[in-house]
Amino acid sequence: MQINKLVRAATTLIILGLIAFWVLTIPGKHDPTELQGLVGSADRGALVYAASGCSSCHSAKGAEGEAMLILSGGRAFPSDFGTFFAPNISQSVEHGIGGWSFGDVANAVSFGTSPDGQHYYPAFPYTSYQNMDLADVADLYAYLKTLPASEVAGKPHDVGLPFSFRRGLGLWKLVFLPSGYHLPATGLNEEELRGRYLVEAMGHCTECHTSRNFLGGLRQNRWLAGGPNPDGKGKIPNITPHADGIGGWADIDVVTYLNSGFTPEFDVAGGQMAEVVENMKQLPAEDHRAITAYLRRIVAMPDKK
């Protein structure tokens, strides 16, 4: 009799646990009323597209010039959890996002939720994009609509269990998805607030320049202090105002780097950063100054020895 009671109690706890898991991991979505009346501008969306670096991940490897606007995907991003492949986000209805509504795009950007209600892996930087204004998302959607379709089929991610169980990403989001901005708005002027938006939201600089813990969450106490490259090759540099980072750079050095890729030591940006520079140089000069002003306000951190 005692054993039967224990079995029933254990069964009840398991069922309650499964229900709690299912409820806690429901993928987030916008209330449709939040999106009403938002009509984007493709002209403004071109700048949002550049700042957000869409082509740096979603164009074909080696693409240059106009080919960077063909968002066929396919680039590989190795990590400790497997290899992720950038999806086709061109206007192909069959292979891309040509059939997506504005709400579908907004849910993906703000919540990391797919049109069919699945969690996206945080290799897609919705952890930063969640802070984007919906008006900017609407502009981005309008601009994406002007780009060509590519009929290249996407590649499935090479991720094994337990990480291939997407519902579990809901728990990851509960623990590691930031709530708002890292740098509080208190005391920031208008230029610094714009810089915060460009760095922490659209530009998603933290996704590379902040190291991660063993479960892939950003180390908030090492904000923009660099760390190992997720693909295992080299190191992502420290960009805090410490001597190990850009503390020795003048403001004009930072602005020049964002425009040209040249450091004060006449080194030049390489790898993916070279593509970031190509995106950054499309932004107005005041945005480069805003990014610089933001970087001066974050905590200076030495390289981790």
- Across the range 118-136, mean pLDDT stands at 93
27, 113 contact by CB (below 8 A): yes
- Across the range 121-129, mean pLDDT stands at 92
Rounded to an integer, what distance in angstroms lies between the CA atom of residue 48 and that of residue 299?
Answer: 27
Q: Which two tokens stand for residue 301?
A: 């951190």
Q: What is the pTM of this model?
A: 0.89
List, for residues 199-247, the tens digit of each pLDDT value: 999 999 998 899 888 888 889 899 999 887 766 677 889 999 999 999 9
Cis peptide before 284 (omega within 30 of 0): no
List, for residues 255-282, the tens digit of each pLDDT value: 998 888 888 887 777 777 878 888 898 8
List, for residues 161-197, the tens digit of each pLDDT value: 777 788 888 888 988 887 889 999 999 999 999 999 9
Q: Look at residue 232 in the predicted model and tell me its pLDDT.
A: 65
Where are the domains positioned within the chain?
29-179, 181-305
Report the number of secondary-structure helices (H) and strands (E) in the chain.
13, 4
Backbone dihedral angles phi then psi of residue 69, each to the nearest 5 degrees: -90, 0
Q: Look at residue 175 in the predicted model and tell me its pLDDT.
A: 85
Question: What does 275-303 look like in DSSP terms, one character per residue?
Answer: HHHHHHTTS-HHHHHHHHHHHHHSPP-PP
Rounded to an integer, what distance in angstroms lies between the CA atom of residue 130 and that of residue 120?
Answer: 13
DSSP annotation of 227: E
Amino acid making up residue 268: V
List, for residues 63-88, the tens digit of each pLDDT value: 778 888 899 988 888 888 888 999 99
Amino acid making up residue 127: T
